[in-house]
Amino acid sequence: MTTPALLPLSGRRIPPLNLGPPSFPHHRATLRLSEKFILLLILSAFITLCFGAFFFLPDSSKHKRFDLGLEDVLIPHVDAGKGAKNPGVFLIHGPDEHRHREEEERLRNKIRADHEKALEEAKEKLRKSREEIHAEIQTEKSKVAQSMKIKETRVLPPVPVPQRIGVSGGDPEDTEIRKKREKIKEMMKHAWDNYRTYGWGHNELRPIARKGHSTNIFGSSQMGATIVDALDTLYIMGLHDEFMDGKKWIEDNLDFSVNSEVSVFEVNIRFIGGLLAAYYLSGEEIFKTKAVQLAEKLLPAFNTPTGIPWAMVNLKSGVGRNWGWASAGSSILAEFGTLHMEFVHLSYLTGDLTYYKKVMHIRKLLQKMDRPNGLYPNYLNPRTGRWGQYHTSVGGLGDSFYEYLLKAWLMSDKTDHEARRMYDDAVEAIEKHLIKKSRGGLVFIGEWKNGHLERKMGHLACFAGGMFALGADGSRKDKAGHYLELGAEIARTCHESYDRTALKLGPESFKFDGAVEAVAVRQAEKYYILRPEVIETYWYLWRFTHDPRYRQWGWEAALAIEKYCRVSGGFSGVKDVYSLTPTHDDVQQSFFLAETLKYLYLLFSADDLLPLDHWVFNTEAHPLPVLRLANTTLSGNPAVR
SS3 562: helix
CA distance 382 to 362: 11
List % helix, strand, coil for the chain (3-state, nearest 5).
50, 10, 40
DSSP state of 22: P
SS3 626: coil
Residues 6+ apart with CB under 8 A from 333: 376, 377, 378, 379, 380, 397, 398, 401
Instruction: Find the helix packing angle between 480-499 and 533-545, rounded to 10°.
Output: 140
Q: Which of 261, 489, 508, 517 is catalytic?
A: 508
CA distance 381 to 310: 10
SS3 238: coil
Question: Counting runs of H as helices and runs of E as strands, what totals does the chain give?
Answer: 20, 21
Q: Sort strands 566-567 and 516-519 into parallel, antiparallel or unpaired.
A: unpaired
Residues 6+ apart with CB under 8 A from 574: 503, 505, 527, 528, 564, 565, 582, 583, 584, 585
CA distance 117 to 101: 24
- In single-letter form, the type of residue at position 162 comes to P
SS3 517: strand
Residues 6+ apart with CB under 8 A from 109: none
CA distance 407 to 144: 40
Reduce the secondary structure of 573-599 to three states and give it as a string: CECCCCCCCCCECCCECHHHHHHHHHH
Q: Is 97 marked active-site?
A: no
- Count of CB atoms within 10 A of residue 521's CB? 14
Under 8 Å between Cβ of 640 and 632: yes
**Plot region of 135 (φ>0 → left; ψ -120 to 50 → alpha; else → beta):** alpha
- Count of CB atoms within 10 A of residue 515's CB? 7
- In single-letter form, the type of residue at position 339 comes to L
CA distance 355 to 346: 7
DSSP state of 306: S
Q: Residue 353: enclosing H or E segment and its boundaries?
A: none
Chain CA centroid to CA 197, Å: 29
- The dihedral through the CA atoms of 301, 302, 305, 311 has a sign that is positive
CB-count exposure of residue 192 (10 Å: 0-12, 13-18, 19+): buried
- In single-letter form, the type of residue at position 359 comes to V
Catalytic annotation, residues: 508
